[in-house]
Chain A
Amino acid sequence: MIEQKPLSLHIPEPAVRPGDKPDFHHLSIPQAGAVRRPPIDVPAHEIHDLAYSIIRVLDRQGEAVGPWAPGLDAEALKAGLRAMLKTRAYDARMMMAQRQGKTSFYMPCTGEEAVACGFQTALEKGDMNFPTYRQQGLLIAQDWSLVDMMCQVFSNAQDRLLGRQLPVLYSVRDAGFFSISGNLATQYVQAVGWAMASAISGDTRVAAAWVGEGSTAESDFHAALVFASVYRPPVILNVVNNQWAISSFQGVAGGENAPFAARAHGYGIPSLRVDGNDYLAVHAATAWAVERARRNLGATLIEWVTYRAGAHSSSDEPSRYRPKEESDAWPLGDPIERLKNHLIAGGDWSEARQTQLRAEIEEEVLAAAREAERHGTLHDGPKPSAATMFEGVYKEMPRHLREQRQAMGI
């Protein structure tokens, strides 16, 4: 009889913990320009290799190289740089506002600005994003009003959501930005439904679904991929792999054995894996997927490889579960620095102009914050009335809610 060793359970652990030297040797990073660009009608099974590589455009010298170089002009790139800088400055200001007690909560997207800002530039008016709480760049890239966003964060008298939602759970229909829910991954399958509706209606609009790598473990992720596979609706299925789900590294979501992009293979959905800190690669991959969707070729899954440089939220302290220096060691660098270097390499930009632009944006964000604060902050100044609390549960207020409102004397 063969002696059997006792079984043991595999519990994934990150390579390093606080106090250790950052280590990203597990991440295999190809040269910029090394990954082919297939035709948009490519069958899913012919690009399986792309899920195990990383599409990159910007090389170490800041040159745009290879088949994915999108040929965006300098003005478009400067607009992207501006959007990313503004997103970062907005996050910094709102984190500070939270520390000052002006709101209860905030979530920055530091280090991930290129993903949302670059993505939005490939969409058209009428398309609909189904974002998570970390895609504020989708709004800022459209120059959506910072004051409007801040009023939501402050839950003040001008908050269009009437103080009903936690900070950062925006809803901006006019900007193609679906109402954010606290329940993770629920919007992923809703985006597929929205895209199905567009197809049923003979429309030309497309939807974009968003999820973090941690939430791919939710059952709605699977449901979304099944429905996207079955009905082939015009949807882009984004997975933002920032390596961390609060304190859990991506291995806890199943990322140790296969990239998240490879999840699409079992569903027969074409997928790409893309350098999420490369603004040009983000734009190019998005444009590829959007064109596929708009030509009725169905869904595309894109894994954006990036790093959550900031805390998960204002309630989180990353130094308790990962090295402090890890974000500096992230091999794909900083998206803003990389785009800036590209513009400088092309002779369209300079360090001096970058400094000037940053100062302008700081001023713009500060002015917006001052204006938003005039409408009140969470504990100070005007806020939505308690009577509005009972409105909008239903289209018409039913009797029991009228009675409850009256019981409050309002």
Chain B
Amino acid sequence: MPRRTMVEAIRDALDVMMGRDSRVVVFGEDVGYFGGVFRATEGLQRKYGTSRCFDAPISEGGIIGVAVGMGAYGLRPVAEIQFADYMYPGYDQIVSEAARLRYRSAGEFTAPMVVRMPCGGGIFGGQTHSQSPEALFTHVCGLKTVIPSNPYDAKGLLIAAIEDDDPVIFLEPKRVYNGPFNGHHDQPVVPWARHPLGETPDGHYTVPLGEAAVRREGNAVTVLAYGTMVHVAEAAAAETGIDAEIIDLRTLVPLDVEAIERSVRKTGRCVILHEATRTSGFGAELSAQVQERCFYHLEAPILRVTGWDTPYPHAQEWDYFPGPERVGRALRTVLEA
């Protein structure tokens, strides 16, 4: 099976869907001729023409607003926001329009659109190239929020997102675009070519939205993670020798609560990881769900390892990013409880 980086897998998903469905159009800042600042749309304009893949003005509100209109017409727009940190001017269109169009029109109009946006830190991106705004989407009813951690899932989830009839926010952790990253910034980058999840089949396949994946089976503690933090969790489990069960949520809404429940009932302990800031982050929702559903199986308080409640700093990148050491500490703490 061919090995692809996550960027290549995303590009391949777009290629597959543009080839299969003439309603799929791809646009955003620099995505046309240039092929995107992360190369995710490279070659698509040449292959499918300028009316299927094109550059957009620097206007996030405009990009998402026209996508809503295109979706209402019957196209399947895939819009790119260059960095998740810059989605805020389009937030009104996402929250007030895309998310509610089906509901408020009782199904007369829908927004079958995908908004792709690179997210997350670990790249010295500072305050406006590192954010993880997923909780601002998971709180919005009518949206689906997806965040892959590897090339195989990225392609399958993106195809599923494009085929989905509801608006999907597709967050791409840019730190793992070219290789898995476990938080050890002092070690050389491992390419996806040497990771089993770099294997992505050619052609069409999907990874269903709303299904989590168990990345490591274990009995001692359940770790709930997504995006880059899945790899950090794997490193922390290996380094501490703790038999953690690591669940890659993949889709945050709708959430695979069965997978979470099954695991926590088995292990009796739960640690939740995310890069995003702590207060009212998605971890709070996960913690509440686990507490409500697994209270009588819990042997220890649920812990969250997250970014601090500060803007994402530049020089203090590795003090901010929740690396394997902090995760390992949390794993030990819940086991000692």
Which A residues fall within an 8 A CB radius of B? 128, 130, 160-162, 164-165, 169, 171-173, 178-179, 181-183, 186, 188-201, 207, 219-220, 223-224, 226-227, 230, 392-395, 398-400
Residues of chain B in range 68-116 having any CB-CB distance to chain A below 8 Å: 68-70, 72-75, 77, 89, 92-93, 96-97, 100-110
Complex CA gap A331/B165 in Å reads 50
Complex CA gap A134/B97 in Å reads 19
Residues of B near A179 (CB, < 8 A) are 101, 104-105, 108-109
Q: List the B residue with the shortest CB-CB distance to A159.
A: B106
Q: Measured between C-beta atoms, what is the minimum distance from B195 to chain A in Å? A: 31
A190 touches which one: B52, B97, B106 (CB < 8 A)? Answer: B97
Please state if B69 and A191 are interface contacts (CB–CB under 8 Å).
yes
Residues of A near B97 (CB, < 8 A) are 181, 183, 186, 190
Residues of B near A183 (CB, < 8 A) are 92, 96-97
Q: Measured between C-beta atoms, what is the minimum distance from A152 to chain B in Å? A: 10
Residues of B near A164 (CB, < 8 A) are 103-104, 106
* Max chain B Cβ within 10 angstroms of own Cβ: one of A130, A200, A224, A400: A200
With A200-B25, A200-B51, A395-B165 given, name 8 new contacts (CB 8 A). Answer: A161-B104, A171-B104, A171-B109, A181-B100, A181-B104, A186-B65, A190-B68, A220-B92
Complex CA gap A399/B61 in Å reads 31
Residues of B near A227 (CB, < 8 A) are 56-57, 59, 62, 66
A392 touches which one: B66, B96, B106 (CB < 8 A)? Answer: B106
Complex CA gap A161/B108 in Å reads 9
State whether the Cβ of B166 lies closer than 8 Å to any Cβ in chain A: yes
B96 touches which one: A172, A181, A219, A394 (CB < 8 A)? Answer: A181
Say whether, besides A165-B104, A179-B109, A395-B166, A192 and B69 are in contact (CB < 8 Å): yes
Residues of A near B93 (CB, < 8 A) are 186, 189, 220
Residues of chain B in range 190-240 having any CB-CB distance to chain A below 8 Å: 210
Residues of B near A196 (CB, < 8 A) are 66, 69-70
Residues of B near A162 (CB, < 8 A) are 106
Q: List the A residue with the shortest CB-CB distance to B100.
A: A181
Complex CA gap A162/B108 in Å reads 12
Say whether, besides A394-B102, A394-B142, A193 and B61 are in contact (CB < 8 Å): no
Which B residues fall within an 8 A CB radius of A? 25, 51-52, 56-57, 59, 61-62, 65-70, 72-75, 77, 89, 92-93, 96-97, 100-110, 141-142, 144, 165-166, 210, 253-255, 257
Please state if A173 and B73 are interface contacts (CB–CB under 8 Å).
no
Q: List 19 A-B contacts (CB under 8 A).
A: A160-B108, A171-B104, A171-B109, A179-B104, A179-B105, A183-B96, A189-B61, A189-B66, A189-B93, A196-B70, A197-B75, A200-B52, A223-B62, A224-B62, A227-B62, A394-B144, A395-B102, A395-B165, A400-B254
Complex CA gap A91/B77 in Å reads 38
Q: Measured between C-beta atoms, what is the minimum distance from B70 to chain A in Å? A: 4
Q: List the A residue with the shortest CB-CB distance to B67.
A: A193
Residues of B near A178 (CB, < 8 A) are 72, 109
Please state if B105 and A161 are interface contacts (CB–CB under 8 Å).
yes
* Max chain A Cβ within 10 angstroms of own Cβ: one of B56, B62, B144: B62
Please state if A226 and B57 are interface contacts (CB–CB under 8 Å).
yes
B65 touches which one: A189, A198, A394 (CB < 8 A)? Answer: A189
Residues of A near B100 (CB, < 8 A) are 181
Please state if A197 and B254 are interface contacts (CB–CB under 8 Å).
no
Q: List the A residue with the shortest CB-CB distance to B142.
A: A393
Please state if B104 and A194 are interface contacts (CB–CB under 8 Å).
no
Please state if A186 and B69 are interface contacts (CB–CB under 8 Å).
no
Complex CA gap A33/B134 in Å reads 57
Q: Measured between C-beta atoms, what is the minimum distance from A53 to chain B in Å? A: 30
Please state if B65 and A193 are interface contacts (CB–CB under 8 Å).
yes
A197 touches which one: B73, B101, B109 (CB < 8 A)? Answer: B73
Residues of A near B68 (CB, < 8 A) are 190, 193
Residues of A near B62 (CB, < 8 A) are 189, 220, 223-224, 226-227
Residues of A near B142 (CB, < 8 A) are 393-394
Residues of A near B104 (CB, < 8 A) are 161, 164-165, 169, 171, 179, 181
Residues of A near B106 (CB, < 8 A) are 160-162, 164, 171, 392
* Max chain B Cβ within 10 angstroms of own Cβ: one of A165, A197, A393: A197
Q: Measured between C-beta atoms, what is the minimum distance from A38 to chain B in Å? A: 28
Residues of B near A171 (CB, < 8 A) are 104-106, 108-109
Residues of B near A393 (CB, < 8 A) are 102-103, 141-142
Q: Measured between C-beta atoms, what is the minimum distance from B102 to chain A in Å? A: 6
Q: List the A residue with the shortest CB-CB distance to B97.
A: A186
A198 touches which one: B73, B103, B166 (CB < 8 A)? Answer: B73
Please state if B109 and A173 are interface contacts (CB–CB under 8 Å).
yes
